[in-house]
Homo-oligomer: A and B are copies of this chain.
């Protein structure tokens, strides 16, 4: 069946009537190439089907939650069993205790955990715990780092007031001097320092945390009594079977988790060390569905796979295979790629492509050939992706490079991206006035 997007277009028209803009949030395709489908019907393993029935080998994993493969048998079996008992009740199921015990046993720095729903819940609770523990106010975050869409951390300021960010200070990721400066600016008032698993900002090259940066953060926190917070919502269990900063041997006081921990079921978590326990116990945090048993059953099954399978090594292997294949193809066609970050969470950008016209053309050509790659957000590789999937992928991307080479002279900057940047720029200016 040839690729088509008629049904998707009809759905977007219907959606525009009953949803502002037709869609919202990080899964909106408004500024992606036109061919990107907004609506999906089905998912299985490393594959997705959109509303028109097109099949894709998937490199976004639902923006992270799909770690083991969509509808992973062990996770689904656990969910089926729990569904026969109950989900949202007057209190948690006892499996919450089991899950907390397992989580704490797997994350070296963690002595306790609090479960919630959104990644933003976990990062906001981290901020509150740091303030509760220190009785101080300032929160240091890396410039451009995403920690959620609550007013204090929203990347866009429209609909917020400046006071909501009153004590948020910025530093440059992987820059110890900049972090030191931020501490100096904050005086004796630093409650917490956020650092992402690695630098995974949109539109940018990715960077693993340097040992010097991570150790400086740890040392400055210890010196001042501030809590060190690793935001592992996106990277958690994708680069290590422990907190991501375990790879540079630095233990935070708090870590925020979500996405992959229940393989797509709605669960996030704040984990903490003994030192931070009283601070966490002193804050009031809750949500209508935070004690659902089904996502916790899914998480227990997911953690079991994380401990007992080679899921991580498999994603590293297929990720490396993809990276090498793409680099070689790009060179063959006279392009040069910036492939950064962990191979299993690849950011794929083109050199000499400031307005993303090359990237947009290339991913669109890959998409209509059955490969879903994101042009400016890090991608994700799930453990269900096989080497044969990567080969099929490389067949499609080879054709995409070939088309790109032919079309290169006539490409224009992506209109949808320009409009978006203008609008956001305007919104930011308006809100700042």
| Residue pair B284, A154 in contact (C-beta under 8 Å) | yes
| Residue pair A166, B161 in contact (C-beta under 8 Å) | yes
**In the complex, which of the residues B79, B93, B286, B427 contacts A39, with contact meaning CB atoms closer than 8 Å?**
B93
Chain B CB within 10 Å, residue with most, of A149, A166, A259: A149
Bound Cα distance from A308 to B294, whole angstroms = 28
- A97-125 contacts to B, CB under 8 A, are 97, 100-101, 103-104, 111-114, 117-121, 124
Specify which chain B residues have a CB less than 8 angstroms from the CB of A119 in the assembled complex.
Answer: 287-288
* Chain B binder among A126-134, A173-181, A195-203, A317-325: A126-134
Interface size on A, residues (CB 8 A): 113
| Residue pair B288, A149 in contact (C-beta under 8 Å) | no
| Residue pair A19, B113 in contact (C-beta under 8 Å) | yes
| Residue pair A21, B281 in contact (C-beta under 8 Å) | yes
Give A80 Cβ to nearest chain B Cβ, in Å: 8
Q: Is A409's CB within 8 Å of the partner chain B?
A: no
| Residue pair A94, B131 in contact (C-beta under 8 Å) | no
Q: Is A158's CB within 8 Å of the partner chain B?
A: yes
Q: Is A209's CB within 8 Å of the partner chain B?
A: no
Bound Cα distance from A13 to B58, whole angstroms = 44
Residue-wise interface mask of A (55-83) relative to B, using a CB-CB cutoff of 8 A (1 in contact, 0 not): 00010101111100011000010010001
| Residue pair A258, B288 in contact (C-beta under 8 Å) | yes
- In the complex, the chain B residue whose C-beta lies closest to that of A292 is B266
Q: A64-B288, A161-B167 are in contact. List 20 more A-B contacts (CB 8 A).
A: A20-B277, A24-B114, A24-B285, A26-B286, A29-B91, A40-B90, A40-B92, A40-B93, A87-B264, A87-B265, A88-B264, A117-B117, A118-B287, A128-B151, A128-B159, A131-B160, A152-B164, A155-B284, A164-B164, A265-B289
A residues engaging B (CB < 8 A)?
Answer: 7, 11, 14-15, 17-21, 23-27, 29, 37-44, 48, 51, 58, 60, 62-66, 70-71, 76, 79, 83, 85-94, 96-97, 100-101, 103-104, 111-114, 117-121, 124, 127-129, 131-132, 135, 137, 149-152, 154-156, 158-161, 163-164, 166-167, 233, 258-259, 264-266, 268, 272, 277-292, 295, 372, 427, 430
